[in-house]
Structure 1
Amino acid sequence: MKKAPIVWVNLLVFLITGTIALTLVPYYAIVHGFDKIEIIATILCLGYCGMSITAGYHRLWSHKTYQAHAFVRWVYALGGAFALQNSILHWSSDHRNHHKHVDDNERDPYSAKMGFWHSHMGWMIREYQGKEYSNYKNVRDLEKDKIVMFQHKYYLPLTLATNFGIPFFLGWLNGDIIGMMLSAGVLRLVLSHHFTFFINSLAHLWGKQTYTANHTARDNHFLALLTYGEGYHNFHHTFEYDYRNGIKWWQFDPTKWFIKSASWLGLTYNLRTAPEERIEKARAQHHLSTLKERLIHLPQHSAVLEKLEHEYEVLMERLNEFYSAKKRLLDIKRKQLGKDYRKTDVYQQVQELKSKFENQKNRFLQFQLPQPA
């Protein structure tokens, strides 16, 4: 079988920058050392690139989970060029294909079922998709965005200007151009690349499937640290229109925090979130399916299955009761126009139903299967 042709530009970029990061960067660190300014600049440039991809390329343009002021979009567009991961239009087209055909080896550009190497970076080294690689039919909406199209048209000069110009300027200010070019230039670029690539590879291979097993995406707290919150990937693939990835307050998702904070300044708006009720149902349904699969291999599983399904049915009843009451309370809150809605009977009812729902949820999620003999 004939292999797909090599994309030499991509291969050379990965080889040259990777080699410099593995050889010249540590050599320079040992012989000359990197000062605090160079280290801080590298971290800030790395964060700028990463957030431009996660908040911009990914959650804004690929999934349209929120809208942003032109100033923010320009910041993302320049940061995306600095990250050197192709134009917004191209990146978003590939990513939408990934979600639409996830795990399909023929149509998912970086299917995890083809192995770690392919999903991590192999898909960019060979032109596996052929003409499909430059087909932008699924991003016609983005072609209406003048900022997207400007960046797409002038992507090459923008990448050269940012990847050489920014580190050079910072190095000139700090009095060490070579050191800054190696740290904030090459090392930052290599780390930025692989942190992003981990979302396509490790986030589909390592972690927990919290909400569904219908795709390979997984939730991984450690990967969230490296990917600015993108590690909660099972949630993302299940609720891709949600601007959040980490939905709990304690989950590390700086991309979510930035988008939300910017909304208070009017820089982002129309933030979309999945209804809590749908999230809870998805988690419960997946847990039920997982336990059912394990029950099949246990003797006398019929009685246990009946009990399990009963607990699930009670949970769904509690869930529907709680969220129905919560909706009624929200209606009252809107109509009361500043009056204390917490003094109403509905508020007390919501608190009681919430307690019953949480107790039943914990009971269901902690359901113990009998140990095999």
Structure 2
Amino acid sequence: MTTTDTLSDRTGAPVTVSPSVRETVFSWAVVLAGVTIPFLGLVAGVAAAVRYGWFSAVDLVLFLGMYVATMLGLTVGFHRLFTHRSFEAAEPVQFALGVLGSMTFQGPLLEWVGRHRIHHRFSDRYGDPHSPHAPHRSGFWGRVRAFWHAHIGWALPADPPDLDRYAPDLRKSRMLRLVSDLFLVWALLGLALPAAIGYAFGGWPGALTGFLWGGLVRVLAGHHLTWCVNSVCHLWGSRPYRSSDESRNNAVIGVLALGEGWHNNHHAFPTSARHGFEWWQVDISYYLIRGLETLGLAWKVRTPSPETLTKSNVDAADGPCSEGRGAE
């Protein structure tokens, strides 16, 4: 299996780079561990709750609190700020979002941004790293394989060693390079923190259940809801705006993924900090951005103009974003 490099072909088509056998084996081992260990954490958490009654309100709060905090680091930080530059933020805010996003165990900051920018450049076309619309896959099992690839199969091939070169703007920041380089530290901290809080409230049993629910199970939920944006939101839902791909708005993913499921809106206006354009399209990530703007910690918040959104069919290239109220 190959991984795409998109900047070398004069025709604009992506160029493939074949990883070594060692890179491929290591990549498979890391991804399989990342997929199976959180799932085993869920099994262990349920077993401990049923067998010993080891599940408390603290565990529920740790699960929900860690999920919301780390996923906001991913959706607001990794995605809307660092990938699409839909707003600007103070350095302490950037650092906090980078650390929290790293706790989702979805890879170093610069690599995540690079891969996502490749996705937008080739969305649902040859070169998209995780499209469910793979060519030559017809029939029921072909569609199942395409869904599997979009959801998790894309992660199994080894990434090119210079994936972060698709984020040259971020590489200029020493702070963001540090956040990216220390990915494993932040990720493990995201497991240790709920365990420590659990210990403070319930001793060693509390530490174990805090680790399981605030750590592993929370990672499992974050993984699959993020991956659903890649798979589900390119297959099922509404398409109120014309875009060059099959991106769709899915209300369930929109709520659970903190606003990321309004995916057709996003692909039509990729530099918009706001994904939920209607009042009923819950977008918790955007609410945080506006809160940061109110506090003076974020500015130049970009959103589509009201005139643009009133058009029934909008091509992505025809939907410029206006600056937010905090713009200079």
Measured against the shorter chain, the TM-score band is 0.7 to 0.9
- The equivalent position to 1:109 in structure 2, one of 120, 126, 129, is 129
Q: Which residue of 1 aligns with 2:171?
A: 143
Q: Deviations over 1:229-283 (max 9, x none)?
A: 11111110010011000012221001111101110100111001122223333x2
Q: Which residue of 2 aligns with 1:329?
A: none
- The equivalent position to 1:51 in structure 2, one of 72, 75, 80, is 72
| Structure 1 residue runs without a partner (length 5+) | 287-373
Note if contact 1:61-1:92 (Cα within 8 Å) is conserved in structure 2: yes
- So what's the TM-score if we normalise by structure 2? 0.80
- The equivalent position to 1:13 in structure 2, one of 34, 43, 65, is 34
Note if contact 1:77-1:147 (Cα within 8 Å) is conserved in structure 2: no
Q: Which residue of 1 aligns with 2:318?
A: none
Shift of 1:63: 0.2
Greater relative contact order, per chain length (Cα 8 Å cut-off, separation 6+): 2
Shift of 1:225: 1.1
Q: Deviations over 1:140-166 (max 9, x none)?
A: 001122331011122222222332x21
Matched, 1:82 2:110: no
Judging by fraction of residues, say which structure has more helix: 1
Note if contact 2:276-2:282 (Cα within 8 Å) is conserved in structure 1: yes
Q: Which residue of 2 aligns with 1:35?
A: 56
Q: Which residue of 2 aligns with 1:173?
A: 200
- So what's the TM-score if we normalise by structure 1? 0.71
Matched, 1:278 2:308: yes
- The equivalent position to 1:230 in structure 2, one of 250, 260, 263, is 260
Q: CA 1:285–1:52 in 2, change beyond 3 Å: closer, same or farther?
A: closer
In 2, distance between residues paired with 1:136 and 1:33?
Answer: 42
SS for the counterpart of 1:136 is helix
Identity %: 28
Note if contact 1:112-1:216 (Cα within 8 Å) is conserved in structure 2: no
Matched positions, count: 279
- More deviation in 192-201 or 145-154? 145-154
- The equivalent position to 2:181 in structure 1, one of 130, 153, 161, is 153
Q: 1:69 is matched by which residue type in structure 2?
A: A
| Structure 2 residue runs without a partner (length 5+) | 3-17, 135-145, 316-328
In 2, distance between residues paired with 1:54 and 1:186?
Answer: 19
In 2, distance between residues paired with 1:104 and 1:216?
Answer: 10
SS for the counterpart of 2:303 is coil
Q: CA 1:186–1:136 in 2, change beyond 3 Å: closer, same or farther?
A: closer
SS for the counterpart of 2:95 is helix
In 2, distance between residues paired with 1:158 and 1:188?
Answer: 15
- The equivalent position to 1:257 in structure 2, one of 277, 282, 287, is 287
Shift of 1:91: 0.4
Shift of 1:188: 0.8
Aligned residue runs from structure 1 range 1-373, under 5 A = 5-6=24-25, 7=27, 8-21=29-42, 23-31=43-51, 32-105=53-126, 107-114=127-134, 115-127=146-158, 131=160, 134-163=162-191, 165-175=192-202, 176-212=206-242, 214-281=244-311, 283-284=312-313
